[in-house]
Structure 1
């Protein structure tokens, strides 16, 4: 595989999680960010643990098909490893990460990887969607939308989540996260995130879900969402929720 010349957030997270599907350019970028911010591994382990708990909670509702946006590297406790009986379609917009994901999942008959822009679900290959999320639009599915809201302005985020709500069948669930204003205390690290990065006050998060209704857990710091044991002591950089599509 040709080594990329640009880092990817998904592969940087793989590095922080202790995976082995990343490149020197990703390690360098992760190191530069940590110099400006501080250690990141535990924060992203908490975020990945939230992914696991939320996916298990969705699967416990009888959902056995998942559509994942901004999927990054499909290892280290990603969706198909957590929901072992489910089928999963991972999507991303980074071509290097897509090829890497396809290589990792080449032997799987229940998880696939393809191009998909969360802001335009029409970009997903219909054949892949039918194969790996066969109930899409007809029966409840799980939509994983992690690491994306921070890169969408309010109007685009509202439209995107509403389009997903309209396309998914009643009873479908959304796992989503938002970035708090915690990074504002680290201006050098914040600058590295680029001009599209959106921090938001936690009080604004519930309204951003639009018609999706959060479970009784609400929108909370990811470590506090149905914790298994005592949550790790990490900054409240990410808030997360599982929200449900109603019958209307």
Structure 2
């Protein structure tokens, strides 16, 4: 397989998480971003740890099927690794990331990877959805929506989350994160994120959830969401929440 000539955000995050599925072009891009902002590994570890705690909480509630949007590389504590008894469908819109994910999960009978655009649930392959998230629309599932809100305007994000709310059964969960205004103080790093990148003040987060109801934990910096011990001392770049479609 030829070395890619363009960096991938998914592989850059894999690098920051200490994974093995990245290339020199990704390491170089990660280094350039760190030169403009600062060390990122701890921040992305905190976000991945939030994912793990949220997924375990969903699994502890009896949910055993997950649909993951913007999944990136399915390693380093991703959903099927922290909920090994669940079935998981990972999706992404980047063809190279989808191919990598399919290769990594080729021998798994509990996790699959396919194309899926969170803003259009119809792009998810129905056969894969039926296989890896059985009972979709009929019994509770977990939806993972990390790393996406920052690239959707308010109207698109609110519509997308409402469509997902309509699609899932009562008792389903949504794990989501939002990007704070952390990068506002680092214009060079902010420029690297591209024109679609949207920072939001924390007060703007809750209204965008629409009918999804956050748990009592609220929407908090990811390191402060049900930490196992003292929260990691990382910048509040990401806020996270676990929300539910109430049963009954």
Query: Common fold, TM-score beyond 0.5?
Result: yes
Cα deviation, residue 31, structure 1: 0.6
Q: For 1:147-226, what aligned pairs fall within 5 Å after superposition? A: 147-226=147-226
Equivalent residue number for residue 73 of structure 2: 73
Deviations along 1:147-183, one digit per CA (max 9) or x if unpaired, are 0000000000000000000000000000000000011
Cα deviation, residue 203, structure 1: 1.1
Equivalent residue number for residue 115 of structure 1: 115
Unpaired runs of 5+ residues, structure 1, are none
Cα deviation, residue 198, structure 1: 0.4
Determine the C-alpha separation between the residues in 1 that align with 2:203 and 2:94. 32
Determine the C-alpha separation between the residues in 1 that align with 2:164 and 2:122. 11
Determine the C-alpha separation between the residues in 2 that align with 1:91 and 1:226. 26
Determine the C-alpha separation between the residues in 2 that align with 1:191 and 1:225. 29
- RMSD across aligned positions (CA): 0.8
Equivalent residue number for residue 63 of structure 1: 63
Determine the C-alpha separation between the residues in 1 that align with 2:6 and 2:239. 28
What's the secondary structure of 2:50's corresponding residue? Answer: helix
Determine the C-alpha separation between the residues in 2 that align with 1:57 and 1:215. 11
Q: For 1:129-148, what aligned pairs fall within 5 Å after superposition? A: 129-148=129-148
Deviations along 1:44-87, one digit per CA (max 9) or x if unpaired, are 00000000000000111100000000000000000000001000
Cα deviation, residue 246, structure 1: 1.9
Q: Is the 8 A contact 1:50 1:223 kept in 2?
A: yes
Q: Is the 8 A contact 1:4 1:96 kept in 2?
A: no
Determine the C-alpha separation between the residues in 2 that align with 1:230 and 1:56. 19
TM-score by length of 1: 0.99
Unpaired runs of 5+ residues, structure 2, are none
Cα deviation, residue 2, structure 1: 3.0
Equivalent residue number for residue 128 of structure 2: 128
Determine the C-alpha separation between the residues in 1 that align with 2:152 and 2:33. 21
Equivalent residue number for residue 235 of structure 1: 235
What's the secondary structure of 1:233's corresponding residue? Answer: coil
What's the secondary structure of 2:243's corresponding residue? Answer: strand
Cα deviation, residue 9, structure 1: 1.1
Cα deviation, residue 201, structure 1: 0.2
